[in-house]
Chains A and B, each alone.
Chain A
Amino acid sequence: MLVRAVDQVNKAAVEMCGITKRFQVSGRGLRRRPPVEKLALDHVSLEVATGEITGVLGANGSGKSTLIRVLATLLTPDEGKASVFGYDVVRQAAAVRRHINRVSVEAAFFKEMSPWENILYAARLYGSGGAGTRTRVEAVLDRLELPRETLDRPMKQLSRGQQQKVAIARSFLTSPSLLLMDEPTTGLDPRSRREVQDLVNVVRAERAATVLLSTHDLAEAEALCDRVVILDEGRVLAEGTPQDLCREYATDGQPATLEDVFLRVSGKRLEEDVEEEEAGS
C-alpha cells in the first residue's frame, strides 16, 4: 500500500503525448450537408505534476472540455497517448476511473433527487456509502457553508451556486487523486464564484489532490493555478507558471498580464471571444 502511494507521488498525475481528437459534425434538416470534420485537439502534449493545480485556459470551443473528457475516459483519442498516474486512459480505463472525479460546468445530478440521494449514489459507485456516510456528508456540507435543510430538498430547487457546491462535496467524498474541473465557476454570481474558488484551494490543501481546472476566467487562473496551459483551436500555444508566462511576454520592461499573454500567443482577446460566443449561443 505504502509502495503504491510512493509510486503514485513519483509519477506525474497526467501525461499526454500527441493527443488528437476529431469529430464529424453533420448538418441537420431536410437538406443535409455532408459531415464536416472538426479538429478538437491537435497533437496536445502536456504534463501535470502531482499535487499541482493546473489551469487550462481557452475560449469556448478551444478544446478544454474535450481534453478533460479524454482524461475522464469519456472520449477515446484518435491519436496519441494519455495516462493518469501511469494508467493508460484507453487500455486501463477502469484503473484511471478509481483515481479521478469530475466537476463539470453543468451540474450532473438527478434533478428530482435530493443532494443526499445524489451523493449517496455517488458514494456507492466509489466504494463507500455505508454507515456514517450521512454524518460525513453533513460535515462536508457544513464546511461548504450549505444549510443542512438543503440536503433533503430536490436538487432542482437549489441555486446554481448551491448545486456546484454539492458537486464539489460529492467529489470530496469520493476522495479523487485527480480532480477534473470543467469550468466549475461559469455562470455563477461573483460570491458563489469566489466560494467555489476557495474550495478548490481547500481540495488541494486538505485532500492533497491534483487539480486540472479548465476556465476562460483569467483572474481565476491567476489566483488559483500553479501552472497554466493556453489552448486555442485544439493546440497548446503556451504553458508555464503564470509568473513565468507574464515575465516571458513582458514588453518594455512592464510585466504582462495573463490576458496580454493570451493575446500575444493566440492573436485573440479571450474575454471578447467568450462574450461573442455566449451572445451567439
Chain B
Amino acid sequence: MIANSFRWEANAFIGFVERQRNLYRRYWAWEAVWLLYSLVTVLSIGYLASGLSTLGLEPSGVSLRDAQLFLLIGALLWTYLSMVFFEIAFAVTWERWEGTIEYTFMAPVRRITHLLGICAFSLAYGIARAAMIGLVVVPLFKLDLSHANWLSALLIFAAATLPLLGLGIFTAILPLLSPEKGEQMAFAVQGILLLLSGVYYPITVLPLPLHLAGLLSPLTYTLSAVRDALLHGASPSNVLPSAAILLAMGLVLVPASVWCFNRAEARAKRLGLLKRSG
C-alpha cells in the first residue's frame, strides 16, 4: 500500500519535472532572452566595479579586484537564487496564465509532490543557467578564485536549498490568496529580498530596521558564507555555523510553507478563487 502510494507520487513527481522541462523547451526563445538579460546584468555589475577606479573611487583598504569579486559573486548568486525563487513563487501564477490550474489541482497527487517537482526542476535549471553565466564571467574578468574553498561553497549551496524552497513556496501562496494582486506581491517580495539580503553590499550598511530584517533572510547567510568560501577560502568548519542556520531555517520554512499552501488552497476552494484570473 505504502509502496504503491510512493510509486504513484514518484511518477507524478517525474511528471512535474518533465512538464517544466517541456515548457522551457517550448518557450526557448524567452529563456534565451532571460539568459542574455541575466548575463548582461552580471557583466554590467562587473564593469561597474572596473569603472570605479576611473572615478577615483578606489576603495580604501580593499583592492579593486576584491571589490569586483565581491560584487560579481553577489550578482552571480542572485542570478541563481532569484531565478529559483521566481520559478517556485510563480508555480500557481503560471498555471493561472495557462488556464491549467484546475486540472493540476484536481489531480490525485499530494501538493508536496507538485511543489517539490517544480522545485527540483527549478534548482537544476538555476544551477545550469548560473554555470553558463559563470563560464563567461570568470575568464572575461580574469577572476582569481585560486583561494576559493569549493567544498565550503558547495556545503552552503546545499544547505541554502531548503530555506530557498520554503521562501518560494510561501510566495507561491500569494496568488492563491489574491488572484488580483498576488502576482504583483510576489514581484515585490523578490525586490525586498534583493534589498535586504546583501547581494551587492554587506547588510551592515543598511539602516537598523532593514539590517535586522536582513538577518531573517536566508539569502543573507548564503551570500555571506559563499563569499567567505570563494574570496577567503573559508573551510567547511568555518562556514558550518551559517550552514546550520540555513538548515534550521529550512527545517522550519519548508513544512510551514507547505502547511500554509494547503490552508490557502482550502481557502481558495471555499471562496471560489482557484479559477478566477483577476
Residues of A within 8 A of B (CB): 21, 23-24, 69, 72-76, 94, 97-98, 100, 102, 104, 106-113, 117, 120-130, 154
Is B177 interfacial (CB-CB < 8 Å)?
Answer: no
Residue of A nearest to B13 (CB): A124
In the complex with contacts A74-B275, A76-B266, A112-B26, A121-B106 CB distance below 8 A: no
Q: List 8 A-B contacts (CB under 8 A).
A: A76-B266, A76-B269, A94-B108, A97-B106, A100-B106, A112-B26, A126-B108, A154-B26
Write out, one digit per residue, whether chain B residues 75-109 have a CB within 8 A of any chain A CB (1) or not (0). Answer: 00000000000000000000000111011111111
Residue contact A110 to B98, C-beta cutoff 8 Å? yes
* Bound complex: CA A245 to CA B107 (Å): 36
* Bound complex: CA A111 to CA B58 (Å): 53
Q: Which residues of chain B come closer than 8 Å to A104, judged between CB atoms? A: 102
Residue of A nearest to B272 (CB): A23
A-B contact sample (12 more), CB < 8 A, given A74-B275, A125-B12, A125-B104:
A24-B271, A74-B105, A74-B269, A74-B274, A75-B274, A102-B106, A106-B99, A107-B99, A109-B100, A110-B23, A120-B18, A129-B11
Residue contact A108 to B108, C-beta cutoff 8 Å? no
Write out, one digit per residue, whether chain B residues 245-278 have a CB within 8 A of any chain A CB (1) or not (0). Answer: 0000000000000000000001001111011000
Is B116 interfacial (CB-CB < 8 Å)?
Answer: no
Residue contact A111 to B18, C-beta cutoff 8 Å? no
Q: Which residues of chain B come closer than 8 Å to A122, judged between CB atoms? A: 103, 107
* Bound complex: CA A154 to CA B16 (Å): 18
Q: Which residues of chain A come closer than 8 Å to B109, judged between CB atoms? A: 125
**Minimum distance in angstroms from A1 CB to a CB of chain B:** 12
Write out, one digit per residue, whether chain B residues 18-32 have a CB within 8 A of any chain A CB (1) or not (0). Answer: 110011001100000
Q: Which residues of chain A come closer than 8 Å to B270, judged between CB atoms? A: 75-76
**Minimum distance in angstroms from A268 CB to a CB of chain B:** 25
In the complex with contacts A110-B19, A117-B19, A126-B102 CB distance below 8 A: no
**Minimum distance in angstroms from B262 CB to a CB of chain A:** 11
* Bound complex: CA A276 to CA B224 (Å): 63
Residue contact A113 to B23, C-beta cutoff 8 Å? yes
Is B137 interfacial (CB-CB < 8 Å)?
Answer: no
* Bound complex: CA A100 to CA B106 (Å): 9
Q: Which residues of chain A come closer than 8 Å to B269, judged between CB atoms? A: 73-76
Residue contact B102 to A74, C-beta cutoff 8 Å? yes
Residue of B nearest to A65 (CB): B275
* Bound complex: CA A154 to CA B26 (Å): 9
Residue of B nearest to A66 (CB): B272
Residue contact B102 to A121, C-beta cutoff 8 Å? no
List the 8 shortest-distance A-B pairs measured between CB atoms, nearest first: A124-B15, A97-B108, A112-B26, A125-B107, A108-B103, A98-B108, A117-B22, A121-B19
Interface residue ranges of B61-80 to A (CB < 8 Å): none
* Bound complex: CA A21 to CA B274 (Å): 15
* Bound complex: CA A129 to CA B15 (Å): 8
Is B14 interfacial (CB-CB < 8 Å)?
Answer: yes
Q: Which residues of chain A come closer than 8 Å to B266, judged between CB atoms? A: 76
